[in-house]
Amino acid sequence: MPRPASPERRREVIDAVIDQLAATGIGSFSLRTLAAGIGQSTRVLTHHFADKNSLLAAVLARLDARQQEALRSTPGWHDPAVKVGFLVRSAWERNLGPDELPMTRLFREIEGLAAAGRLPFPGAAFVRGAPNSSPCAWSATVCRKAAP
């Protein structure tokens, strides 16, 4: 009898998959090459995700959550006295820093695939431009923060 899927382990797998996709790209991955890239078997992936699309949906949701966390941790995010330009500059510098650059490339690739209709579903909130999502709705979020 297989072990029940652990939410903590599932999140670890998703984070490993995201790191791998940031290094290799998302456009044409397979479960086999992805599993090999994270040092696991495809069985680990299929234990936590029904298929490639459910894995991709989990990846997009986790990326959206991670971007929201990053935005909220921007110095001055919760301080109305901090100017919007400072927030935008801080986020831009973070996204283009050496530690974040692979992830920024992954976001741009996902946005491009979504724009070309090459994602199998609408995708994460940041792709759909949902309210308070990132990075597509970043400017709307900042403008709401700046509004009197």
pTM of this structure: 0.78
Eight-class DSSP state of 3: P
Specify the pLDDT at position 130.
Answer: 56
Contact by Cβ (8 Å): 11, 62: yes
Over residues 54-83, the pLDDT tens digits come to 999 999 999 989 988 998 999 999 999 999
Specify the pLDDT at position 125.
Answer: 57
End-to-end CA distance of the chain: 59
> Mean pLDDT of successive 10-residue segments in the chain (148 residues)?
79 96 91 95 93 92 91 91 93 92 93 84 58 45 48
The CB-side HSE value for 122 (13 A sphere, CA atoms) comes to 6
Specify the pLDDT at position 119.
Answer: 80
